[in-house]
Structure 1
Amino acid sequence: MLYHSAIGECRHSLFTVLMLLIAVGCVDRVKQAPSRWTVYELDLTSSQEYDNPFWDVAVRVELTAPSGKKHLADAFWDGGRTWRLRFAPDEVGRWSWESDCSDAMNTGLHGRRGTFRCVPYTGDNPLYRHGPLKLSENRRYLVHADGTPFFWLSCTAWNGVLRSSPEDWVNYLRTRREQNFTAIQFVSTHWRGLAKDATGETAFTGTERIRLNPEFFQRLDPKVVAINESGLVAAPVILWTLTETDPGQILSEADAIRLVRYIVARWGGHSVAWFLGGDGRYPPERVDRWKRIGRAVFGDRHERLVTLHPSGRNWVGDDFGEESWFDFIGYQSGHGDSERSLRWLVSGPPATAWQTGPPRPVINLEPNYENHPGYTHHRQFQGADIRRAAYWSLLVSPPAGV
């Protein structure tokens, strides 16, 4: 992480607050040439109305880099007749783009063309200086696009994006940056820990051919932006899937795929690492469903890292290790305090399974939380317990992060 002077910290905080105000509509957007690895946003206006835009029309944009390399990215519906594209250009120079709409008669969304110029990044944010995350050459660690090593040190703010005030979120991110965290894990839609957001609304309604609520995500956008502007990687759980009422279980497979594609289109231009499923048990009867969802969304376009966040003491490396979209093995040593729980971490799959199968980074995405009661002895975990879980996680397998 980078250290700033007091003046630099003040300037950074003011900029983050300004980004929040812009995103909630208090300040007009100013279109300018995007810097390399920052977000270029393109607005398209539909020439037609649709009953359920989330389902009735799909828009994809082909972007051509200065080198001639082609990129495909989905645009997303953002309410009314507005569709947006968010894309992070990885080359400096002149880019061109052309839109393709499933409704070829829609002159506002189909066959639109344009250009923009990408300029070098000159700031000190490590995410924009070095680019998004990818696997190292030996596929054991994480690095930035330019090869700079990246150590995953994340905080689980599951409800942070959903419930925090803008001021609290800025303060939280400032604190985590000062503590040298590098990533923030959070939930993207309503889940067992949040039935509705602060305004009483949900991300969508229904379970088949769902109706999306763009305003729900518009309120989350500025907080996702703020994560990156603080020099931290955003790690959204797309579908929480612990209970039968969570999106990962209650949605039909087609609706789950559609919702994942939407969130990926909305935030995929940012520096993110996707948690496709959150707190899932992924038993054998559900593995194929998750494989199909992963392939449908990330099979042909895979520009950000993807993993799964399993429930406690649930190893998914064996079931998903052959999937091309599954980049690193996440696990949760969890909040058990029995001898069996401790032995699972130091002599179970985290310590042994990484040595077999295709090489992948291994990261404990949820060691025990401070002040969380242990499941067996009900004693609240203290700082020493947290450090022990983190240290053991880094010692039993190649240390990609925790």
Structure 2
Amino acid sequence: FSDIELDVVFTDPDGVEMRVPTFWSGDQTWRVRFSAPKTGLYHYRTICSDTSNSDLHDQEGKVEIAPYNGDNRLLKHGNLRVTSDKRHLEHHDGTPFFWLADTWWMGLVKRLRYPDEFQMLTADRVQKGFTVIQIVAGLYPDMDQFDERGANEAGFPWEKDYSKINPSYFDMADIRIQWLIKSGLVPCIVSCWGYYIDFVGIDVLKRHWRNLLARYGAYPVVWCMAGEAIMPYYLAPGDKRAELITKARSGWTEITKYLREIDPYHHPITIHPTDCGHNQVDDRSVIDIDMLQTGHGGWDSMPNTVRQVIDSLAIEPKMPVLVGEVSYETIGGGCLQDVQRFAFWSCILSGACGHTYGANGIWQVNRREKPFGPSPHGMSWGNIPWDEAYRLPGSAQIGIGKALLMRYPWWQFEPHPEWLANHATKENVRAPYCAGVPRTVRIIYMPNFMTVQVKGIESDTKYRAFYYCPQSGNETEIGTVNPDADGNWQSPRPPIFQDWLLVLEKTG
């Protein structure tokens, strides 16, 4: 594993080459997984770093690639990429992709049993409309190295001296990753928690990433370089933390550049941050998606959440922005479904390309009979079991929100604060939000029981209005919108004292 590197160069019918890394499968076995961008006859040859190894080097062959005829959305439409406007994601065939992720940081451990429990949780998330699972590939947060809580059925991902990987660990991970894809969920694969860069160094993490690329690069995935990338280990001395942060930022920049160089599929790359993804690296251009983490304080974290989304969208170079972690449902005894709805709608209508939800109890896989327990700092994040947490109402309610967006060309939405007389700002986040497409649709989120004055209604467009309940998805018809001579219209009072969505959609 550490002595050689083996690649396979595939040449397509037009003579275009793709150099694909292989992975060590144990003993004397190396394997390659290849996803072809077009059909036809491919030629391949192997390139081994040890050119004297005649069993591995300069082996040649042919493979015929046939078209995919199934109905799996991910395989049918192709890998993900950033859209030309640098604000959203789409499949390679141009089909828009909405990021609605769930947080399963420790979803590959044996504590979430496969197949029954893993498949049950997967089915629930598919039914609710999730499209992405954020999952760590073995080197986990909130524990020290080789903590038994991080093992799967085959043990740990690396030998304890980090001299080589444990292929059997990744064989078990394969089964779970493949099930997510079969179910239509994109794995957002996080290589490790960021402090491993201090534990094991850059070279080991490059080998870790090469193994992940070889195993999962042929699949429709998103790469996440690290979790809380520049955060020092929980017990790191206070006087060393600034130095560790600087070294981590430089190191993750180098590793990200390395991954970009060796990934023949050019999967989108993001990085899970301590605050903003663009602050975790020295060169912002090495990432494709700006992921944010904005706090676990419930309502107290919402001003920072909105502010970070708006500020990150204004940064050059432009890239899609999304909140990748905020206020897991029930963490700290709060952050309930009202917070989840607000976080989703305030971010989406402010211009985010999607949203990541998290439920306390799922991310760390609390078992009813044995919760995860304390993190290295000595405190537990909560004991709600995963099989209770997956039924928390917030996950269903943001799925209801996504269902409304899917009725419209959501990828064309832009924030339109000028469409409201009293729109939310970074200083006043509990006011209404508005986004949409001119002359097509306007969606207004009203976090408080209120009416709104809608402005600038086009004189050449007729709209139908209705209230949409963000808790149930039920609609309350309002009828035809009749603005005044200045294009203004006052909405009627909502039927129930709660948050609401007001929708104006073009008729005729």
Bin of the TM-score, shorter chain as denominator length: 0.7 to 0.9
Residue of structure 1 equivalent to 2:75: 128
When the two structures are superposed, what TM-score results if normalisation uses the length of structure 1?
0.79
Letter in 2 for 1:189: G
- In the alignment, structure 2 segments of 5+ residues that lack a partner are 232-244, 357-508
Identity between Structure 1 and Structure 2 (%): 27
Residue of structure 2 equivalent to 1:386: 340
Are the counterparts in 2 of residues 237 and 275 from structure 1 also a CA contact under 8 Å? yes
Residue of structure 2 equivalent to 1:203: 157
Distance 1:233 1:200 in 2: 24
1:315 pairs, out of 276, 281, 288, with 276
Report the Cα offset of residue 273 of structure 1.
Answer: 0.3
When the two structures are superposed, what TM-score results if normalisation uses the length of structure 2?
0.63
Distance 1:372 1:284 in 2: 30
Q: CA RMSD in A?
A: 1.9
Question: Residues 93-137 of structure 1, C-alpha deviation per residue, up to 9 Å, x if partnerless?
Answer: 111111000111222211111111111111111111100000101
Are the counterparts in 1 of residues 139 and 191 from structure 2 also a CA contact under 8 Å? no
| Residues 331-370 of structure 1 aligned to structure 2 (within 5 Å) | 331-337=292-298, 339=300, 341-347=301-307, 349-370=308-329
Question: Residues 196-230 of structure 1, C-alpha deviation per residue, up to 9 Å, x if partnerless?
Answer: 314472111345x5221111111111111111100
Residue of structure 1 equivalent to 2:469: none
Are the counterparts in 1 of residues 294 and 326 from structure 2 also a CA contact under 8 Å? yes
Distance 2:267 2:282 in 1: 17
Report the Cα offset of residue 368 of structure 1.
Answer: 1.7
1:328 pairs, out of 289, 293, 310, with 289
Residue of structure 2 equivalent to 1:292: 254
| Residues 265-284 of structure 1 aligned to structure 2 (within 5 Å) | 265-281=214-230, 283-284=245-246
Residue of structure 1 equivalent to 2:166: 213
Are the counterparts in 1 of residues 132 and 185 from structure 2 also a CA contact under 8 Å? yes
Residue of structure 1 equivalent to 2:365: none
Distance 1:258 1:370 in 2: 35
Residue of structure 2 equivalent to 1:11: none
Residue of structure 2 equivalent to 1:86: 33
| Residues 11-50 of structure 1 aligned to structure 2 (within 5 Å) | none
| Residues 128-207 of structure 1 aligned to structure 2 (within 5 Å) | 128-163=75-110, 164=112, 165-193=114-142, 195-196=147-148, 197-199=151-153, 201-206=155-160
Report the Cα offset of residue 321 of structure 1.
Answer: 8.0
Distance 1:237 1:90 in 2: 25
Report the Cα offset of residue 79 of structure 1.
Answer: 0.3
Provide the aligned length of Structure 1 versus Structure 2: 335
Question: Residues 329-365 of structure 1, C-alpha deviation per residue, up to 9 Å, x if partnerless?
Answer: 01112312363x3221122x32123212111000111
Structure with greater contact order relative to length (CA < 8 Å, sep ≥ 6): 1
Distance 1:65 1:213 in 2: 33
Are the counterparts in 1 of residues 35 and 218 from structure 2 also a CA contact under 8 Å? yes
Are the counterparts in 2 of residues 140 and 400 from structure 1 also a CA contact under 8 Å? no
Question: Residues 222-263 of structure 1, C-alpha deviation per residue, up to 9 Å, x if partnerless?
Answer: 11111110011011110212xx5xx34311111111111111
Report the Cα offset of residue 372 of structure 1.
Answer: 1.1
Report the Cα offset of residue 401 of structure 1.
Answer: 4.0
Establish whether residue 372 from structure 1 lines up as the match of residue 319 from structure 2: no
Alpha carbons of structure 1 residues 174 and 356: separation in structure 2 relative to 1, 3 Å? same
Distance 1:320 1:252 in 2: 16
Structure 1 window deviating more from structure 2 (385-394 vs 269-278): it is: 385-394
